[in-house]
Amino acid sequence: MKYAVKLECKSPLAISAGRATGNQMETLRHIPGSVWRGAVAAQWIEEHGLHAPGRPPEEDEHFRTLFLRGLVRFGDLRLKAAKVTKPWPFSARVCKLHDDHPVHDLLIRTARGESNLPKECKGSREQPCDAKLDRPDDFVSLSGDHAARKSVDVRVVTHSAISNSLLCVRQEQFFSQEVLDPGQSFEGELWAEPTAQDLVAGMCRTRTIQIGRGGTRGMGLADLTINPKDAPADPIGEIRGRLQNVNQACDIPGHVVFTATLHSPCAVFDEWLFGRPQLRATDLDPKLGDYRVWASYSRTVRISGWNGQAQLPKPDIDAIAPGSCFLFGRELSKAAAPAEVERLAPILAREGTGLGEYWEEGFGEVEFCWPFHFMKKFQQGR
């Protein structure tokens, strides 16, 4: 069962993208699942007295069910505009000068082997343009055939270190920190197995949590609300319709294709336990071994973390970055294509809850056959 999660910033919020290497630190533009999961876990420990000597949290049955058994998935929270936003796919291209000019998506066009992929914006009939096309690095909100750019409001705050002996400003120790402005809302999902739903239902309320850096300076306060979410009427039917649309847009005779777009980092490891830079069809399901990657736009990102219990940094891991997108395909006769679509639909509907390692922390959020990739106006490259 899925639950809707909403986080409202009550004070400046700073979530570091990595360990500090200088006097200025950037903040992430979203709330990772691992961050608010840790805050909820810490609050659960406090409320149920699991911090007392002789009562370690890992021995509590309810705590293990919620946080240690992989039965509950805490998804990433992203900016809420008219709709919940998502990272731009790496295959997207927008005009470098004008936000209202047409958007291009290159994934399907690359799979078709087109040699004239657009590099410059043509604008519109009313406003011709020859500016370069650029890959956007903020967020996108889809509404019908319109893709709107959305940016998170951030600012820079500063502070100086205090000398313990003199109780005044410590010389040459001045720091700046990028923060998310208060007043913004971020939304996402929590997913729970049936055996954990009763416990999650008891968490459905609004609570105040503290996340990120600067807690001693009044930063990181947020209201977190969890509510049940209505399930789609026919998730398999929805995926089936998307499969038909993406195959119609791709239009490669004798083949069946589908797309996979990552909205959060995805950690998949090779036989030496190193992070792989690309997805394989077998990462989705062993039954998809006949599919191969025909086109992809991806890159990797290094994930850092902090183990609050041990007071030590977690080992860095290499993951496939959010925004990475892949088009998988296999050769198949036209007569066999409808049956293959019927076989794929329940597989992709099931795998849509998450891929790869660290699943319960929000890693591996994937959307199959995302309409962004096959909107007609994009493929025509107006």
- Tens-place pLDDT, residues 319-365: 999 999 999 999 988 888 999 999 999 999 888 778 999 988 999 99
pLDDT at 379: 41
Alpha carbon distance 18, 35 (integer Å): 13
Q: Are 219 and 11 in contact (CB under 8 A)?
A: yes
pLDDT value of position 380: 38
Provide mean pLDDT across the span 243-272: 91
Instruction: Give me Rg for the CA atoms of the chain.
Output: 23
Eight-class DSSP state of 123: B
Apex 161 CA angle, 155 and 165, nearest 5: 165
24, 177 contact by CB (below 8 A): yes
Q: The CATH number of 2-83+152-228 is which of 3.30.70, 3.40.50, 2.20.110, 2.60.120?
A: 3.30.70
Instruction: Answer positive or negative: Cα dihedral of 18, 22, 26, 27.
Output: positive
Residues 6 or more apart in contact with residue 258 via CB below 8 angstroms: 243, 246, 291, 327, 328, 329, 344, 348, 368, 369
Q: Is the pLDDT of residue 377 over 60?
A: no
Residue type, 263: H
Would you state the pLDDT for residue 20? 57
If one compares 308 and 57, the residue with the highest pLDDT of the two is 57
For residues 10-18, give the mean pLDDT. Answer: 84
Average pLDDT, the chain: 86
Q: How far is CA 339 from CA 236, 256, 345, 370, in A?
A: 14, 11, 10, 21
Q: Distance between CA atoms of 24 and 104, rounded to whole angstroms?
A: 35
Tens-digit pLDDT profile for residues 298-307: 999 988 877 7
> How do residues 205-249 score in pLDDT, each as one tens digit?
899 999 988 887 788 899 999 999 887 778 899 999 999 999 988
Query: Are the C-beta atoms of residues 301 and 265 closer than 8 Å to each other?
Result: yes
Annotated domain spans of the chain: 2-83+152-228, 235-380
- The pLDDT of residue 267: 93
Q: Do residues 363 and 357 lie in contact, with contact meaning Cβ atoms separated by under 8 Å?
A: yes
Angle between helices 235-250 and 337-351 (to 10 degrees): 130
What are the residues whose beta carbons fall under 8 Å from the beta carbon of 226, sequence distance 6 or more? 3, 4, 5, 190, 200, 203, 204, 205
Residue 312, helix vs strand vs coil: strand
Q: Give the amino acid at 195.
A: T
The answer, yes or no, to whether residue 24 has pLDDT greater than 70, is: no
User: Residue 18 has what pLDDT?
Assistant: 65
Contact between 322 and 244 under an 8 Å Cβ cutoff? The reply is no
pLDDT of residue 82: 63
Residue 81 has pLDDT above 80, yes or no: no
Indicate the pTM of the whole model.
0.89
**What are the beta bridge partners of residue 7?**
186, 224
Q: Residue 380 contacts by C-beta under 8 Å, 6 or more apart in sequence?
A: none
One-letter identity of residue 92? A
Question: Is 2.60.40.4350 the CATH number for 235-380?
Answer: yes
Contact 318, 300 (CB under 8 A): yes
Give the pLDDT confidence score for residue 381 in this predicted structure: 37
Would the CATH topology of 2-83+152-228 be identical to that of 235-380? no
Looking at residue 284, its amino acid is L
The structure tokens listed for 13 are 């919020």
**pLDDT at residue 176 is higher than 90:** no
The Cα 255–Cα 368 span in angstroms is 17
Q: Is 277 exposed, middle or buried (0-12, 13-18, 19+ CB in 10 A)?
A: middle
- List the one residue out of 154, 198, 208, 162 whose CA is nearest residue 39: 208
Q: What is the pLDDT of residues 276-309, one digit of tens each?
A: 999 999 999 999 999 999 999 999 998 887 776 6
pLDDT tens digits along 90-116: 999 988 888 888 888 999 999 988 888
Asked whether residue 53 carries a pLDDT value surpassing 90, the answer given is: no
Hey, what amino acid is at 1?
M
